[in-house]
Chain A
Amino acid sequence: MIRIKDLCGGYEDNPVIKKLSLVVDKGGFTAIAGPNGAGKSTLLKYLIKELGCPQDTVFIEERDIRQISQNEIAKLISFQGQYVPRYEDFTVREAVALGRFSYGDVDRNTEEVDRALDLCGISGLADKYITRISGGEFQLAMLARTICQNSDILALDEPINNLDPRHQIMLLNLLRELADKGKTVLCVMHDLNSILRSCDKCILLKDGSIFSYGETKSVITEENIKAVYGIDVQIIDHQGKSVIVFK
């Protein structure tokens, strides 16, 4: 469980988050949505201690994040950033195995690595270099790295951006599957249709605060989208599924 209480902060000259309070229960697939600059990525950075927070503001499994070591946090929450550079010629297997760092068995635990590769459907890419696979395959490899970390919470920052529709669906289905197995998936997403299709809950942010939070269908409404993004949309029913049509 993640609990945030009256969190304010951000960067030196840009206080992005403004008095934000939130409880994310264990399990389920929760999307974080909102316009650019609303504080979505910043919120995730607090969860991995990349940004320091005051005492008694951020709790993971009811423990104040300030009291948890970086190594312990890695065992509680795994994170995939918006942009991971492909700086070096690691093989996919080597890059995925780095997720085992907090357990100290990066070069030994081939079982967990194989399982993560298999779950992401990229076992065939294991010995290819990360600089020589497609963007979609790289995103899947990075997701395999976070799965390999074996934590209960997965925090992902825009994992489906820049992916073709096939890879988007593949990745969202995989996250859905993980949530169904009991993982808490917290995912920054821009595509509102994907949120409607795949997520259980949605946190809609505006100007560093929560504008709406709850079941996806009750948050992604025509009125809320107009209020947060300033655009007119129509939500229609297509074969029993809600679809957003932009006017």
Chain B
Amino acid sequence: MQIKRRPHLIAVILILTIIILTVAGIAVGSVKITVSDILSAIFRPQSISANTAYIIRNLRIPRVLSSIVIGASLALCGLIFQCVFRNPMADSYVLGISSGASFFVGLGFVVGISFADVSLPVVAFIGSMLTTAMLFAISRKNTHSLLLSGISLNFLLSALTTLTIYLSDKRAENILFWTLGSLGNSNWSRLLILTCILLFAFIFVYSNCSSMDLLLLDDSTALSSGLDVKKKRILLLSVASVVTATVVCFSGIIGFVGLMSPHFMRILVGPKHRRLIPLSMMMGSVILLFSDIICRFIVPPSELPIGIVTSILGAPVFMMLLRRKRHG
């Protein structure tokens, strides 16, 4: 338990791990790249072949940076959902919110919206907000049924997404991309949008650390301590939905990162959100960077969808949590 007193040490370890995995993430792939190639591509691009420089600067670097940003975003969303619903097993994937965004994107394809269309994020956002609103309505009546309702919603929306694949056979590949998750479409402009949204979300959430701590107790205690519980919940859920929608839109459904990261960090540094938020986000980046390297490492030159790897890593954690909750 002494480790709970060392958030700074954990932060340093996570930052070092992110740096190491970032370099590894740029180096690993169908084209082998050395550390000196990476440095050359950044500082002296003329000193290496144009092809290698292009791969590093326009493919690998945006991809690993996207891993960092998306991993942090998923962890932040997971943390918000776990706090608002007071359930350590809640995250945007388990609760079906990612599937909601994915289903609406699928519907968008059926009605003819193209992959590059700017309205696609809006469609994903509507899907994620509607699913969150449904969950919120359910949890207001009975918080205990939230998880089962979320899992049911996830099944329903995943089935409906599959249905849209059948209905739009020519675009099936694009929709499949959403259901399994991939960082293969990362580029600088998408990275910029993701980073801006994450930054705004982080500033908002971090400035509400104490409110989130209070939400972990109970409504009466939070209210009597001066927190407008209803308003704060809606604001936090809206932020989480916007971030989820953006992530789903650009990388598809990537499961369990939002579940695992806050959980690991809660064990290490306790429930105080002032520590938990930044450390969980770093942990999310580490998990996604690591998963992306595995995706590209296992079946070169092809790659596995990243959602498969995160689910394989995350499902045992979910079962462990269920077990703990039952015994707790």
| Residues of chain A having any CB pair with chain B under 8 Å | 45, 48-50, 70-75, 77-81, 83-85, 87-91, 94-95, 98-99, 101-102, 104, 106-107, 129, 145, 149, 155
Contacts and interface: CB of A to CB of B under 8 A. Distances in A.
Interface residues on B, range: 20 to 34
Given A70-B223, A94-B272, 14 more contacts: A49-B223, A50-B223, A50-B224, A70-B226, A70-B228, A72-B226, A79-B220, A79-B221, A79-B224, A87-B86, A87-B216, A87-B217, A90-B213, A98-B221
A70 B227 contact: yes
A150 to B, nearest CB: 12
Contacts of A99: 225
A91 B1 CA distance: 12
Contact of A101 (B227, B266, B271, B274): B227
Contacts of A80: 221
A71 B231 CA distance: 13
A34 B221 CA distance: 23
A73 B226 contact: yes
Q: 5 tightest CB-CB pairs across the interface, nearest first? A: A74-B226, A102-B226, A79-B224, A88-B271, A71-B226
A101 B86 contact: no
B214 interface: yes
Interface string B219-256: 11101111110000000000000000000000000000
Given A89-B271, A90-B270, A149-B225, A101 B220 contact: no
Nearest to B220: A81
B218 interface: yes
19 contacts: A50-B224, A73-B224, A73-B226, A79-B220, A79-B221, A80-B221, A85-B86, A87-B86, A89-B270, A89-B271, A90-B270, A94-B272, A98-B210, A98-B214, A101-B211, A102-B225, A102-B226, A106-B213, A149-B225
Most-contacted residue by chain A among B219, B221, B272 (CB, 10 A) = B221
Contacts of A145: 221
Most-contacted residue by chain A among B210, B220, B228 (CB, 10 A) = B220
Contact of B217 (A73, A84, A91, A106): A84
Contact of B221 (A49, A84, A90): A84
Contacts of B214: 98, 101
A81 B274 contact: no
Nearest to B224: A79
A70 B213 CA distance: 17
B218 A83 contact: yes
Contact of A74 (B218, B225, B266, B274): B225
A75 B213 contact: no
B312 to A, nearest CB: 28
A129 B217 CA distance: 14
B264 to A, nearest CB: 14
Nearest to A101: B225
B225 A91 contact: no
A73 B225 CA distance: 8
A91 B270 contact: yes
Nearest to B211: A101
A89 B1 CA distance: 11
A129 B227 CA distance: 24
B271 A90 contact: yes
A107 B272 CA distance: 10
B218 A85 contact: yes
Most-contacted residue by chain B among A70, A74, A155 (CB, 10 A) = A70
Contacts of B1: 129
Nearest to B271: A88
Most-contacted residue by chain A among B217, B225, B228 (CB, 10 A) = B225
A70 B224 CA distance: 7
B223 A101 contact: no
Contacts of B266: 88-89
Contacts of B225: 74, 78, 98-99, 101-102, 149
Contacts of A70: 223, 226-228
Contact of A107 (B210, B223, B227, B270): B210
